[in-house]
Each structure stands twice: as structure tokens, then as C-alpha cells.
Amino acid sequence: MTYTALARKWRPKAFGEMSGQEHVLKALSNALDSGRVHHAFLFTGTRGVGKTTVARIFAKCLNCEGGVTATPCGTCSSCREIDAGRFLDLIEVDAASRTKVDDTRELLENVQYAPTRGRYKVYLIDEVHMLSTHSFNALLKTLEEPPPHVKFLLATTDPQKLPVTVLSRCLQFNLKRLTTSLIVARLAHILQAEGIASEPAALRLVATAADGSLRDALSLMDQLLAFGGGAANEVDAAAMLGTVNRSHVVELAELLAAQDAPGLVRRARELEQWAPDYAQLLDELAGLFVQLAVLQVVPEAEAGEAGHDPAVLESMKARIAPEDLQLYYQIALLGRRDLALSADPRNGFVMTLVRMLSFRPQAAGSAPTSALPSAPALPRAAAPSAAPASGGSPSAPQGASRPSAAPTASLEALTPANWPMLSLQLDLAGLARQLASNCALVSRQGGSLRFALDPRHQSIRSRSQEEKLAQALSRHFGLPIRIEIDVAAAQVETPAGARAREADERLVTARSTLETDPGVLALKAHFGATLHTDSVRLDAGDGAASPEEK
């Protein structure tokens, strides 16, 4: 007895039997009905979404004996022969096995001849990205200006590998991955027509595992029917796919809601007896968090595609805070990403669950509810209210009225003399730090500071850098600070000038020390060595000199 696989038996034979891809089918149907049919089409998309199927139906539309139409009859000899794969004027080529340029030239030798039976000679080249560069070059001219009786239908899973010259000669249609609900509906229709008993949960597991590919879903369904003795039930589907029953996912979420750390870790380790796919388990857990978060924001929303009991979701959403759900979801995603880095996937899964409890925020003034220790909360500095200031053209940062850090120094103690030291303590970088280093503090009046900028460095002054300096001062003192900067030589040194002077003084000291060093004097006396003092440099770390002698 010959058995035909479901993917082959239920391959659509008309556009109306296709699942999804409405954006492609509409464009092709309109082109056929209006008579504006291009000579080259490129169908792209992942495996099993219908690229070759659409191309074959399109070839049937072009060669149906009833005329060029988007709804071929399916009963004429041309339609039947195309369905059977023996239509002479539909030349199907597997580019993966015919990559050489000689194969392409041989294929194109007969392009000039009229069709044998049909209206058009259709070349269907599957996995066209596998052709060699020379093969593409041989195809280009014919692809651009084919005879009027020739149509090219190209299909590929990797359009990035096609030359731009080929892409520009084709109408490109991208077939999308099918949604889980669409695959479930198609599976249910096929099994009902086949008279096979099935459970909705089993269909959902198969559809999820197919990852948007209907052909993969039908292949998995064939495998499930063999595994389950001719029936499609949830237990067999979970066992075949290595998935864990949804009740275990709900139980993990219940333990998270109860903050039961010992129970959560124990239950996570017990799951090993089912040999689960821990990555998929985290995906299902994250999917449950998404449903709960949506129900909290939109109570009337549907339960979704995971098939959890609405009563369970309704009870759980009231016991997990919204901020906890957001944290759990983020940690589940990060744990899913890092799972491959773990030597033991089970340990990586357990660690992800432990993180969810460890980093759960605690309400202010409340004791931790988890069995896990929680870190003490960091103190927050009170933000003083900002009073509007007036006068001049100062730079006032918008965020200065609410400094985010506690004051580290007293503003009253700030003087032009200690400004160089303070400038090093400010949270600044880049041009803003250079601006502070080349400014000298001239005066202070309350929360307003007046600076003088060295004229040699006025090019670094800008509105944004002044605002950064004012914000850094506000954060440092815990007060709203306003600054005014004038380009003028100051009576006191700038921080950069002070550091340059100190470096010069250290360099002079280092050179004089070397000139009087006993070892250097001995080298001069015995070997006639010469000390080049201009080669002495200060080390960036401690100012030590490194002479070069000869």
C-alpha cells in the first residue's frame, strides 16, 4: 500500500487553497486578470511557506486551456499534467544540483523554441541562489529580454546571495512565515478531512515547533501520527517534541508568584525527568508572562494562543505585580540567550529562575517575602527645589533643579584657589572636562559661578558643554548651579595651567637631580658620557624621569 505524505497530498492546487500569503496572491491575481504579467518573478521566504507551490499554481494559471486566469479550471489536460508534474512546457530546475555554467547554457538553448503544448514555456528555477557567478551571467541576457512565450519563476530562501543585476530584472515577492493560529487552523482542517482524531493542544504544539513553516508542520504531524498510533493528542506531541506539559509552566509561575524559592528550585530540578528543551521552556514561560501582562493592562483581551486556562490566568494576574512581570519577562529573555553558554542547560535554567527571585524589587519599608536574601536599598538624596535666577546670560541646566546625587562638598568652601582640585572631581569627560580645565574661577555669588576661559581654548566653548559643566557642578554640590563664562585672561591659574606649571617644575627638578646623580657623574668621568637633558621625560603615572644617555 502506497502512502502519500500529508505535505504532498494536501499541496494547494489553486490560490484559493493557500494558507496566508494574501499580499502575494492578490498581486499575482490582479496581474493575471489585467493581463499585465511580467516575464520574471522571484519568490523569496523561509522553507515551507509556499514558494514552489505558488510558482506551480502561477504556471497553471498561465497555461490553463480556459485562458489566462487567476482561477484555473484544474480539470483540463494542462492543469492535470502540471499537478502531476509531467507538463512538457513547465521546466523545473533544482539549481542546487545544476550550478555549473554549462548546465545553464544547456537549459537556455531551447528558450527560443515555441512551447510544445501550452501557451507559455515556464522555467521554474528552485534555490536559484545556488547558481554560480558564471551561471548568473549566462542567464542575465535571457532573463532581461526573453521571447514573448517564456516566463521565468525563480524561488530562493536566501535572496541576499543573488546578484543585484538579477534582482533588478525580476518582480520580487517575499512570502512571510505563517502564524501559529493559521497553521493550527490548516492542520485541523486536514485532520478533519482525513478523519483523524486530534486535540487542539497537540496541534498547537506542532504548529509552534514548525516555526512558521506549514510544510514542516505537516511533516511533524506525519511523525506524530506514527508516534501516537494514528491519533494526535497532547501527551504524545509533548513526548515527541521534548516539550513539557503546560501545567508545569503554570506551576513554575505559581511558585514565582508565591515567592517560594525552595519549591521553585526543587520543581525546576524535577523537570529533568522529562528531558525538556530548556530553551523552549523559557520561551513558554516568557509567553505566559506576556499573557498575564496584557491581561493586567487590557482585562478584556483574549487569552492568546498558548491555551492556558482563563481562570488560572485571571487568578495569577492578580497575585503578580506588573513590575514583577516585566522583570520576569526580561530575565527569561536574557536567560534564553545565555543558555547556550552554560555547561549544563538545567543549571542555566535554574539560575534564570533564581535571578527572578533575587532581583525582585521590594516595596519600601516592607520585609523581603522571598526566602532569598535581598540587598539593602541605597539611600536617596532629597532634591532641593530650584529657585529661578536672573541676570546676565548664564547657562542654566534643565536638570539642575533636581540633582540625582547627594552633595559631596560645601559650596561655601569653593574658592578660586581650590577650583583646580575640584575640577578633577567632577563627573565630566571629553570637551566638557577640557572646558572645566581651561577655566579659572573668578567669583561666586550664591549659586552663581563666574569663570574666565583661557582665550587660547575658546574653540571648545559651546552651549552644550557649558550645560554639562553646570549639571556636573549641580550634581557635585547637590544644589542648582548657574555659570557664566567670559573669554578673558584671569588673574588666577586655570586647572590646566596649574598642572602644566607643576609638570614643568617636576621636569626641572628631575633634570637637575640627574645632573648631580653620582652614577651619572661616574659615567661622565670614566667613559666620557654625555647627558642629554632635553630627552628627559616625565612618566604619566608618577612624574619619574627617564633619561637617554650616550
List, for residues 418-447, the tens digit of each pLDDT value.
888 888 888 888 888 888 888 888 888 888
Range(s) within the chain of domains with CATH label 1.20.272.10: 246-358
Range(s) within the chain of domains with CATH label 3.40.50.300: 6-174
- Partnered with residue 42 across adjacent β-strands are 154, 172
3-state secondary structure labels for all residues of 421-453: HHHHHCCCCCHHHHHHHCEEEEEEECCEEEEEE
DSSP code, position 382: P
Phi, psi of 545 (to 5 degrees): -90, 150
Sequence-separated (6 or more) residues with CB below 8 Å from residue 168: none
Determine which helix (DSSP H) or strand (DSSP E) holds 92, and give its type and residue range: strand 90-94
Mean pLDDT, the chain, whole residue set: 82
Whether the pLDDT of residue 103 is over 90: the answer is: no
First-residue to last-residue Cα distance in the chain: 98
Phi, psi of 173 (to 5 degrees): -125, 125
Q: Is 292 helix (H, G, I), strand (E, B) or coil?
A: helix
Q: Confirm if 21 and 7 have CB atoms less than 8 A apart.
A: no
Alpha-carbon distance values, 347 to 242, 251, 357, 546 (Å): 18, 19, 16, 54
Fold of 180-241: Helicase, Ruva Protein; domain 3 (1.10.8)
Q: DSSP letters of 480-545?
A: --EEEEEES--SS--HHHHHHHHHHHHHHHHHHHHHT-HHHHHHHHHH---B-GGG--B-TTT--B
Sequence-separated (6 or more) residues with CB below 8 Å from residue 59: 82, 87, 90, 120, 122, 124, 151, 153
What is d(CA 384, CA 401) in angstroms, rounded to the nearest whole number? Answer: 7
Q: Confirm if 238 and 205 have CB atoms less than 8 A apart.
A: yes
Q: Which of 78-87, 344-353, 458-467 has the lowest mean pLDDT?
A: 458-467
DSSP code, position 98: -
Alpha-carbon distance values, 232 to 6, 141, 211, 240 (Å): 14, 52, 19, 11
What is d(CA 472, CA 360) in angstroms, rounded to the nearest whole number? Answer: 32
Range(s) within the chain of domains with CATH label 1.10.8.60: 180-241
Q: What is the pLDDT of residue 353?
A: 92
Share of the chain above pLDDT 70, in %: 86
Q: Give pLDDT tens digits for 191-203.
A: 999 999 999 888 9
Q: Give pLDDT tens digits for 514-536.
A: 888 887 787 777 777 787 777 77
Higher pLDDT residue, 301 or 141? 141
For the domain spanning 246-358, the CATH number is 1.20.272.10
CATH class name, domain 398-493 = alpha beta
Identify the band that residue 389 occupies on the pLDDT scale cut at 50, 70 and 90: very low
261-270 and 246-257 helices cross at what angle (nearest 10)?
160
Q: Give pLDDT tens digits for 214-244.
A: 999 999 999 999 988 888 988 888 888 876 6
Whether the pLDDT of residue 396 is over 50: the answer is: no
Identify the band that residue 391 occupies on the pLDDT scale cut at 50, 70 and 90: very low
Find, among 239, 199, 225, the residue nearest to 5 by Cα. Answer: 225
Phi, psi of 396 (to 5 degrees): -115, 115
Cell numbers placing 485? 563664562
Residue 52 has, within 13 A of its CA and on its CB side, a CA count of 21
Q: Give pLDDT tens digits for 306-327.
A: 556 777 888 888 888 888 899 9
Burial of 433 (0-12, 13-18, 19+ CB in 10 A): buried
Whether the pLDDT of residue 355 is over 60: the answer is: yes
Q: What is the pLDDT of residue 29?
A: 94
Burial of 161 (0-12, 13-18, 19+ CB in 10 A): exposed
Work out the average pLDDT over 336-363. 85
Work out the average pLDDT over 1-24. 88
Identify the band that residue 359 occupies on the pLDDT scale cut at 50, 70 and 90: confident
What is d(CA 479, CA 546) in angstroms, rounded to the nearest whole number? Answer: 45
Range(s) within the chain of domains with CATH label 3.30.300.150: 398-493
For the domain spanning 6-174, the CATH number is 3.40.50.300
Share of the chain above pLDDT 90, in %: 30
Q: What is the pLDDT of residue 400?
A: 40
Q: What is the pLDDT of residue 102?
A: 83
Q: What is the pLDDT of residue 397?
A: 45
Whether the pLDDT of residue 181 is over 70: the answer is: yes
Q: What is the pLDDT of residue 542?
A: 44
Q: Confirm if 96 and 135 have CB atoms less than 8 A apart.
A: no
Q: What is the pLDDT of residue 209?
A: 86
Q: Confirm if 449 and 485 have CB atoms less than 8 A apart.
A: no
DSSP code, position 417: T
Alpha-carbon distance values, 455 to 452, 458, 527 (Å): 9, 5, 50
Q: Give pLDDT tens digits for 241-264.
A: 876 667 788 889 889 888 888 998
Q: What is the pLDDT of residue 125?
A: 92
Q: What's the alpha-carbon Rg for the chain, to the nearest Å?
A: 38
Q: What is the pLDDT of residue 216?
A: 92
What is d(CA 545, CA 550) in angstroms, rounded to the nearest whole number? Answer: 16
Whether the pLDDT of residue 345 is over 70: the answer is: yes
Alpha-carbon distance values, 295 to 68, 314, 322, 329, 330 (Å): 50, 8, 10, 15, 18
Phi, psi of 220 (to 5 degrees): -65, -35
Identify the band that residue 333 occupies on the pLDDT scale cut at 50, 70 and 90: very high
Cell numbers placing 462? 559651546
Q: Give pLDDT tens digits for 482-522.
A: 888 888 876 777 888 878 888 888 888 888 888 888 877 87
Q: Is 235 helix (H, G, I), strand (E, B) or coil?
A: helix
Dihedral sign from CA coordinates of 482, 488, 492, 495: positive
Cell numbers placing 253? 509561575
What is d(CA 265, CA 135) in angstroms, rounded to the nearest whole number? Answer: 59
CA dihedral in degrees (205, 208, 211, 215; nearest 10)? 50
